[in-house]
Structure 1
């Protein structure tokens, strides 16, 4: 039989909640899975742990009086599963993730595991099954200029470390037509002043989905006359803040993530964003709904891929040549590029059939 490495549950055992000999029970629970299934579950548990950290939650939350935060725990799991579903994951994948979380909860504290059999969780899984049976995957919706203006205004008013980072992250993600993985991999050393663009920047993209040879690419980010939407201004503010708080600069800390994880209100870390597609999708939807730009249901149309779609759609609407758009987005196939322009079909609208 193949050996596996024993890993501890996500959180330390609470001695006042579990008997001292519960570790023996955990060993039996671990033995219930094949090595392959256990490895798969451990991967899911690690992904969930990263997701809750990035969304400023706890994997196993407790209230101040030491009791389990029932609502917080169930909400965290359902938000995670819903984010997976909105990213196009299948029902079987959702069920696998839920099974993995039940497994980890059973060996952490059985009271948490019981919550995953509660009515809200059952209702969600039943709703997901119905939804996904008739689900036709839809492309991520692009943001309009009006929505961007409202979104950045909302984040500017908050004026927190997280809001300043998120505004820079979103604006640079759009300006560079970046995938979520590219955003997460950017470091301070990947940002340099542009030589021919006054006030602009060059982003060094080290790895790309379409970069089979690993050559990397440089993406230009120009400054905008629209002060509120200018991506270089948002990035410059974030860089200034990182330097002011921790003396982080491209010269002194070139390998530090450009958009690191934030713990709590002021906890800037040196850790990169993990599970990037889910994390960026979550923060985008949360800001859009909190700002009152869209409803919670309307936010489901947006994801991390909306940043890339926004650059291509707005550029196309502004009359930018396809070659110039593709030079930034990295598309070689113009047909694929056009599929990102969410307004292409609108050009064919007409009322001639009505006569008059």
Structure 2
């Protein structure tokens, strides 16, 4: 009896693995790699690649082999990260960065068929100590409130396509409570591009945004504003009409001194830069230094702004932002009424 053939790996992640397959399965191997990439966002893949490079560089400096999974070695690595010994510049990593690097190592080892047990005492106990010693409250981005957003819109040039595009992005991101990656991933219609992650549909009373976020597909309703000057639907319609976009990516690069629209989709980093640039130009948080202000604003400022200023029942804000819990939504609320429910008085004191 002929020996049973070895099972094919679920993920063909290396050239050596691909070469070991029969030639007629090569197209499937290529497709499998495409699906592996689609399993995580481009930002996540970039971060994981950077973190693996960081780990490998540290191992080389210690004359160690990074390709064999060793919980004790990983425990020493995160200790070096926390103490500043993982890089030549001796800068300690934050707890959040260390946790992300652990996730990156777990993912990379898994792709090599060597699962990393993060519950191993060499990792779990060290990480618990790092959290207790170096844990800090999260640094939150400044919320862009409605009055801030209006001032930011006034800094944009309405006479150029770039200005109209940026106006539509800011209003859509704020009113929809969208992540920066969700804003740029939208298409003008359903199933129009391979890299699209959603589309818009303009209706009489507003706009319906269907998108694929971190937790699957969801719909976001964006109503029309009380004024055309601050209405996200009007801003988007104006941009689409003058940019002559009826198919493909919603927000694209503009060239030729802001007058020509190209075919390429914007990146999420460009949304963050837009928020930062417009906030600085509008003088938002002028009480801070310019350096402090640059650190305060990013793409999440739009989501935090909606969560902080929409005076409706919290569950509606939670639904709009796509959060699984009300506690996550509250993290975005920068100026909510924290003492609306007074349990001290309710208890009779």
Distance (whole Å) between structure 2 residues aligned to residue 294 and residue 140 of structure 1: 12
Find the partner of 2:295 among 300, 306, 320.
300
Question: In 2 relative to 1, CA 174–273 (structure 1 residues): closer, same or farther, beyond 3 Å?
Answer: same
CA distance in 2, matches of 1:308, 1:167: 16
Cα distance change, pair 310–298 in 1 and its aligned pair in 2 (3 A): same
Higher relative contact order (CA 8 A, sep 6+): 1
- Residue 89 of structure 1 and its aligned partner are, at CA, apart by 6.6
Pick the aligned partner of 2:332 from 329, 336, 340: 340
Does residue 280 (structure 1) correspond to residue 271 (structure 2)? The answer is yes
Change (3 A) 1:291 1:340: closer
* Alignment: residue pair count: 209
Q: Which residue of 1 aligns with 2:305?
A: 310
Structure 2 unaligned blocks of 5 or more? 1-13, 17-47, 54-92, 102-133, 190-198, 343-349
Structure 1: any 5+ residue segments left out of the alignment? 5-38, 45-84, 94-132, 351-356
Q: Deviations over 1:15-57 (max 9, x none)?
A: xxxxxxxxxxxxxxxxxxxxxxxx958x99xxxxxxxxxxxxx
Q: What's the secondary structure of 1:218's corresponding residue?
A: strand
What is the distance in 1 between the residues matched to 2:284 and 2:229? 17
Q: Give the secondary structure class of the aligned counterpart of 2:208.
A: strand
Change (3 A) 1:321 1:135: closer
**Kindly tell me: are residues 144 and 40 of structure 1, through their superposed partners in 2, closer, same or farther at Cα, counting changes over 3 Å?**
closer
Partner secondary structure for residue 269 of structure 1: strand
8 Å contact kept, 2:275–2:299: yes
Partners of 1:282 and 1:160 in 2: CA distance: 18
Change (3 A) 1:89 1:284: farther
Alignment map for 1:1-356 (pairs within 5 Å): 137-155=138-156, 157-189=157-189, 190-194=199-203, 197-198=204-205, 200-205=206-211, 207-211=212-216, 216-243=217-244, 248-249=245-246, 253=247, 256-265=248-257, 266-274=259-267, 276=268, 278-295=269-286, 296=290, 297-315=292-310, 318=311, 320-344=312-336, 347=339
- Give the CA deviation at 1:286: 1.0
Closer/same/farther in 2, CA of residues 182 and 290 from structure 1, 3 Å limit: same
Cα distance, 1:331–1:288 mapped onto 2, change above 3 Å: same
Inter-partner Cα distance in structure 2 for 1:290 and 1:271: 27
Q: Quick check: 2:146–2:305 contact (8 Å CA) kept in 1?
A: no
TM-score (norm 1): 0.52
Distance 1:294 1:158 in 2: 24
Paired residues of 2:177 and 2:303 also in contact (CA < 8 A): yes
Q: Is the 8 A contact 1:152 1:228 kept in 2?
A: no
Displacement after TM superposition at 1:261 (Å): 2.1
- Partners of 2:253 and 2:137 in 1: how far apart? 33
RMSD: 3.3
Tell me the residue number matched to 1:74.
none
Local SS of the residue matching 1:191: strand
Asked whether the 8 Å contact 1:280–1:304 carries over to 2, the reply is yes
Q: 1:217 to 1:283 in 2, by over 3 A?
A: same
Pairwise CA distance, 1:178: 0.7
| Separation in structure 1 between the aligned mates of residue 185 and residue 279 of structure 2, nearest angstrom | 24
Which has a greater percent of strand? 2
Deviation at 1:264, TM superposition (A): 4.7
Distance 2:255 2:135 in 1: 39
Residues 155 and 282 in structure 2, CA contact (< 8 A), matched pair in contact too: yes
Distance 1:346 1:228, change over 3 A: farther
Structure 2 Cα separation of the partners of residues 298 and 165 of structure 1: 24
Q: Check 1:183–1:89 CA distance in 2 against 1; reply closer, same or farther (3 A cut).
A: farther
> SS at 1:228's partner residue?
helix
